[in-house]
């Protein structure tokens, strides 16, 4: 199907994008276009203008400085995360998420982390990992910048806290010191598909006995309308040695916290709940094995 008619404006800065968005609430940012173009072609959206940010300079950096990893501005493609050697060392869950998104074309040519968060598909991969890593979204708007934890950023299916004139300018991930392990595992029907269930885990271990000092667990496609943080599962791990029994307890709690819906793509809610337990156990063990 052909998309409806729309105007096109290419901006030179994110500030200019904010001005256009503020003046016209039906305008939309065009980043990688990997979600926007299909929505246009299916006529699910009818924007007045597409605001192309692809020629804005300095929007695709991954800066690792001190206790923060800054991913931004708004054009860091999935592939950039996938090939970043430092991220494989610090938080393997990040590149591990990137390599499981769509196919190589989606990851190389278009899709951005910021675009994925703004689009807020309930089965998207990035939110799970960014929730587990306690990341925040930096938002630029008409009255300046603000930062919102990823956990609170997505409010429902395809809805976020972004207000009129606001854009994502950066994703900020705190870097914990000491021994930190992480992993993202995804159950998909076939390679390149959206998640049936996706679970990301971050574990900070304390020496000398290796008990869990801090834990983050983010789950996608199984929280009802949005990705969620499995707080009870995290509590089951914190302060304990991650033995098989403790891991089992955490996986069981994650399952109880989940509220997936039945659909023809991923299966029944009952099946997905069972898979939350399996994938949480797998993500914890995978992280610990590193
Ligand atoms: C065949 C296919 C398979 C896919 N498989 C997966 C998968 O397995 N897992 C997964 O997670 N995703 C998957 N995706 C989605 C993919 O990751 C998209 O790249 C991503 O969801 C959107 O990023 P984008 O840069 O392409 O955004 P766009 O398509 O350009 O934009 C998406 C939306 O976000 C808004 N937007 C973009 N950037 C900003 C910004 N900086 N500030 C405010 N709003 C902004 C746009 O206005 C638009 O509403 C798939 C897509 C396709 C087409």
Hey, where are the domains in the chain? 7-52, 62-174, 179-288
Q: How many angstroms does the Cα of residue 250 sit away from the middle of ligand 1? A: 31
pTM score, whole prediction: 0.97
Task: Tell me the pLDDT of the chain averaged across its residues.
Answer: 96
Residue 1 scores a pLDDT above 80: no
The residue-averaged pLDDT of 86-108 equals: 95
Using most ligand atoms within 8 A of CB, pick from 118, 128, 195, 199 the residue to mutate for ligand 1: 118
The residue-averaged pLDDT of 4-33 equals: 96
% of the chain residues with pLDDT over 90: 91
Confidence of residue 2 (pLDDT cuts 50, 70, 90): confident
- Tell me if the domain spanning 62-174 has CATH number 3.40.50.300: no
Work out the burial of residue 204: count CB atoms within 10 Å of its CB; fewer than 13 is exposed, 13-18 middle, 19 or more buried.
middle
Residue 250 scores a pLDDT above 90: yes
The residue-averaged pLDDT of 226-230 equals: 96
The residue-averaged pLDDT of 253-276 equals: 94
Query: How do residues 35-83 score in pLDDT, each as one tens digit?
Result: 999 999 999 999 999 999 999 999 999 999 999 999 998 999 999 999 9
Closest-CA residue to 25 (of 165, 219, 137, 129)? 165
Distance CA 32, CA 181 (A): 30
Residue 233 scores a pLDDT above 80: yes
Using most ligand atoms within 8 A of CB, pick from 52, 77, 119, 169 the residue to mutate for ligand 1: 119
The residue-averaged pLDDT of 167-177 equals: 97
The protein residue with its alpha carbon nearest to ligand 1, atom 5, reads 102
Q: Do domains 62-174 and 179-288 have the same CATH topology?
A: no
pLDDT recorded at residue 265? 83
Q: Which fold has domain 7-52?
A: 3.30.43
Residue 3 scores a pLDDT above 90: no
pLDDT recorded at residue 110? 85
Q: Which atom in ligand 1 lies closest to the alpha carbon of residue 192?
A: 8
The residue-averaged pLDDT of 219-239 equals: 95
The protein residue with its alpha carbon nearest to ligand 1, atom 1, reads 102
C-beta neighbour count of 54 within 10 angstroms: 16
Confidence of residue 210 (pLDDT cuts 50, 70, 90): very high
pLDDT recorded at residue 192? 87
Query: How do residues 148-166 score in pLDDT, each as one tens digit?
Result: 999 999 999 999 999 999 9
The residue-averaged pLDDT of 245-257 equals: 98
pLDDT recorded at residue 158? 95
The protein residue with its alpha carbon nearest to ligand 1, atom 20, reads 116
Q: How many angstroms does the Cα of residue 174 sit away from the middle of ligand 1? A: 24
Using most ligand atoms within 8 A of CB, pick from 21, 30, 34 the residue to mutate for ligand 1: 34
Q: How many angstroms does the Cα of residue 40 sit away from the middle of ligand 1? A: 13
Closest-CA residue to 196 (of 132, 257, 125, 249)? 125
Q: How many angstroms does the Cα of residue 209 sit away from the middle of ligand 1? A: 42
For the domain spanning 179-288, the CATH number is 3.30.390.50
Q: Which atom in ligand 1 lies closest to the alpha carbon of residue 37?
A: 29
Confidence of residue 208 (pLDDT cuts 50, 70, 90): confident
Q: How many angstroms does the Cα of residue 30 sit away from the middle of ligand 1? A: 9
Q: Which atom in ligand 1 lies closest to the alpha carbon of residue 123?
A: 11
């Amino acid at each position: 199907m052909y998309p409806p008619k729309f105007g096109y404006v290419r901006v030179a800065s994110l500030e200019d994008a904010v001005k256009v968005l503020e003046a016209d609430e039906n305008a939309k940012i065009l980043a990688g276009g990997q979600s926007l173009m299909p929505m246009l072609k299916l006529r699910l959206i009818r924007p007045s203008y597409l605001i192309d940010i692809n020629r804005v300079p300095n929007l695709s950096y991954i800066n690792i400085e001190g206790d923060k990893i800054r991913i931004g501005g708004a054009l860091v493609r999935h592939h950039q995360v996938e090939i970043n050697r430092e991220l494989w060392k610090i938080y393997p869950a990040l590149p591990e998420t990137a390599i499981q998104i769509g196919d190589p074309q989606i990851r190389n040519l278009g899709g951005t982390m910021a675009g994925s968060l703004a689009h807020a598909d309930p089965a998207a991969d990035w939110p799970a990992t960014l929730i587990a890593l306690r990341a925040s979204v930096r938002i630029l708007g008409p009255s300046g910048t603000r930062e919102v934890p990823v956990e609170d950023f997505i409010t429902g299916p395809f809805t976020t806290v972004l207000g009129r004139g606001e854009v994502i300018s950066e994703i900020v991930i705190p870097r914990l010191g000491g021994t930190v392990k992480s992993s993202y595992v995804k159950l998909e029907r076939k390679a390149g598909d959206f998640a049936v269930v996706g679970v990301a885990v971050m574990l900070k271990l304390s020496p000398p006995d290796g008990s869990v000092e801090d834990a983050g667990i983010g789950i996608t496609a199984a929280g009802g309308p949005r990705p969620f943080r499995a707080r009870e599962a995290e509590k089951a791990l914190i302060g304990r040695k991650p033995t098989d029994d403790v891991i089992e307890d955490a996986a069981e709690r994650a399952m109880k916290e989940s509220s997936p819906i039945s659909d023809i793509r991923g299966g029944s809610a009952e099946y997905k709940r069972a898979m939350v337990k399996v994938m949480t156990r797998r993500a914890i063990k995978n992280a610990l094995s590193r």
